[in-house]
Chains A and B, each alone.
Chain A
């Protein structure tokens, strides 16, 4: 196997020359062997995304409050809020979650989706809260991404909030408590 730490070729990117003409055979029979013509088709969208019934969660983050939900019928408590209970189908009400929990599991992402590539390496974690039945996905900061360890599981962590809210779930993140 090659050593992947030392690059052996430059990164392929989608910028470059635009071609205005290609060679073409005299005899149409020769078209069967023609190489494919490949063009760039850009596509950009801005969505008008509503958080709908989940909106109070994001308003909560802007006010340094971490909200979950609890089923009014069976009491199942959700660490990531949902207004319809997955356990019984009952309606849920908003509850405030403790701002301290423990790392249930985690990973360090060294690659990712295009949007998050500049942030690599970053640590994703699922956090568990005392008395809450489900988990919460978040970024874990304040740990060294170069030295991941299974011992991080079970670590006490606490929530921190963005001062200038972006109304995204990353308005909250966790650090070792």
Chain B
């Protein structure tokens, strides 16, 4: 595999509705921004791009099949190669990784990954229905298909088994919403408190409206290149560009039906799922005790797909101690509860410790006032951008939005793009992006690193 660089990216303004633009024009907004940032005209860029990967989740939202080719022709990129990927909420993450593969495998030197979703084309309740169609329509959907309900069932079990509290979940909401105040691309700019989260209307007990991301219209794109491709881009741009390399990708899957989740043994967990930082005697004893008390893996409280994606990406990027070796994570916080579950999958803490990790302060941004009494100093900022909860979740764009924010973090360019540098992770050298589908059915993790 060849080295792959994430060269530039752009994000459209995420909003509840963007009736001023069709989806093609939303992608162009992001693409034009990405090009402008490295000083390229569309004509120059279109000469350099070898092909594309397009990302959008649901054909239902546009009521338009083959939307990706309409983006490709709108951008002026026909007759170059291109295809669409789809994998629920992880569509954007999958798209990023498909572009990585095209470059790493030698098929392309410069690949454009773009994604979008225009969810405002239906009422929220109909949108919930479309999203719920990403659950088994024979056995799950007809029972009362509703994704917030599915995630609420996961966290109810998490609370019962590990003592996770709604206040711990609310810490995630406060962190991500307040981070987003400094991110002009975010859909929501709310200064909220734990109490606000708990007093918001309950959507699916115990999740309130402020525990859950919103539907959104938006687009994002990233340009990935080989060393040769990067050299060509730099030549056209007339300057050297900051180097951000994608040092590892990982993916995992799990059963569509939450009811089908297995209940693995302690031995199998250590054989297939444990991370390098869980191999010490203390962690083994911790997990042995969990199993002795009835814990089974992954159950409905954990995402085995997220663990497998992390494990593969970490192995390839040589990450053995994620909390200490990763400077920031942009992860798929469709729910505050799923951010907590994902801390555990990604090995920022052990399974069962996610609730306490959420309120520890370790995942917060330094220098930002949250109005919370946090016992520990930030160590690995999670969702410095505000995440899906505050930025919005235009499904096909979300995973690429994370990639763009990660590129900007590692370029040290947050100040330039956000108009303020409050969310710039100081000295960031390595970041992880995490994209997640269904009830944990497809999950991708990609590691990006600054190269001197």
Contact = CB atoms under 8 A, between A and B. Distances in A.
Interface of A: 1, 4-5, 12-14, 35-36, 38, 41, 43, 49, 51, 54, 78-80, 82, 86-87, 104-117, 119, 122, 124-126, 133-139, 148, 150, 153, 168-170
A51 B138 contact: yes
A82 B159 CA distance: 29
A105 B157 contact: yes
Nearest to B263: A133
Q: Which 4 A-B pairs have the closest CB atoms?
A: A107-B152, A113-B129, A105-B157, A114-B125
Contact of A113 (B146, B153, B196, B258): B146
B149 A126 contact: no
Contacts of B258: 126, 135, 137
Given A14-B123, A43-B63, A111 B204 contact: yes
Contact of B260 (A13, A51, A80): A80
B262 A133 contact: yes
B257 A80 contact: yes
Given A106-B153, A109-B144, A134-B260, 17 more contacts: A1-B196, A4-B200, A4-B201, A5-B201, A12-B123, A38-B19, A86-B260, A105-B156, A107-B153, A110-B205, A111-B203, A112-B145, A114-B129, A150-B156, A169-B140, A170-B142, A170-B143
A115 B129 contact: yes
Interface residues of B, number: 49
Contacts of B75: none
Contact of A49 (B20, B132, B137): B137
B156 A124 contact: no
Given A107-B205, A126-B153, A112 B255 contact: no
Interface of B: 19-20, 63, 123, 125-126, 128-129, 132, 137-140, 142-146, 148-150, 152-154, 156-157, 159-160, 192, 196, 199-207, 209, 255, 257-263, 300
Contacts of B196: 1
B121 to A, nearest CB: 9
A43 to B, nearest CB: 6
A138 B259 CA distance: 10
A7 to B, nearest CB: 11
Contacts of A104: 157, 300
Contact of A116 (B19, B144, B200, B261): B144
A107 B154 CA distance: 9
A134 B63 CA distance: 36
A110 B202 contact: yes
A137 B140 contact: yes
Nearest to B131: A113
Contacts of B205: 107-108, 110, 148
Given A105-B300, A107-B153, A116-B146, A134 B262 contact: yes
